[in-house]
Amino acid sequence: MNSVQPKIYSFDEHQISPDKIDEHAVYVIQKLRHAGFKAYLVGGGVRDLLLKQNPKDFDISTSARPEEVRAVFRNAILIGRRFRLAHVRFGKKIIEVSTFRAGENDSTDLIVRDNIWGSEEEDVLRRDFTINGLFYDPETQEIIDYVEGYTDLEKRILRTIGNPEVRFIQDPVRMIRLIKFCARFHFEVEPSTFRALTDLKEEILKSSSARILEELLRMLESGASKPFFQLLHQYGMLHSLLPEMAHYLNMRPESPIFSLLGEIDSEIKQKIAPPFDRCLLLSALLFPLFDEFLRARAAQENKSPHLGTITTTAEHVIDCIFNPFFSLPRRTKSIVSFLMASQYRLIPLDGKPPRRNRPPNDPFFPMALHLLKFRSIIDTSLLPHYTLWTEASFNAHAKVAAGEEEPSARPRRRRRR
The strand pairing partners of 134, in sequence order, are 145
- Note whether 78 and 66 are within 8 A (CB): yes
> Is 321 within 8 Å of 286 (Cβ atoms)?
yes
**Residue in 48, 114, 123, 128 annotated catalytic:** 128
**8 A C-beta contact, residue 186 and residue 180:** no
Q: What are phi and psi of 11, to 5 degrees?
A: -60, -40
From 48, 59, 123, 152, active-site residue: 59
The answer to whether 101 and 59 have CB atoms below 8 angstroms apart is no
Strand-pairing partners, residue 61, are: 40, 98
**CA torsion angle 219 16 274 230 (round to 10):** -20
Q: Given 22, 57, 277, 319, which residue is catalytic? A: 57
277 among known catalytic residues: no
Instruction: Kindly give, in sequence order, each residue whose CB lies less than 8 Å from that of residue 402, ignoring residues fewer than 6 positions away.
Output: none
Q: Is the peptide bond before 324 cis (omega within 30 degrees of 0)?
A: yes
How far is CA 215 from each of CA 110, 322, 323, rounded to the nearest angstrom?
Answer: 19, 15, 17
The answer to whether the beta carbons of residues 28 and 95 sit under 8 Å apart is: yes
Among 237, 142, 134, 246, which residue's Cα sits nearest to residue 180? 237
CA 256 from chain center: how many Å?
21
Nearest to 114 by CA among 84, 87, 86, 69: 84
**Does the annotation mark 48 as catalytic?**
no
* Burial tier of 415 (Cβ tally within 10 Å: 0-12, 13-18, 19+): exposed
Strand, helix or coil at 99?
strand
59 tagged catalytic: yes
CA–CA gap between residue 382 and residue 388 (Å, rounded): 10
Query: Known catalytic residues?
Result: 57, 59, 128
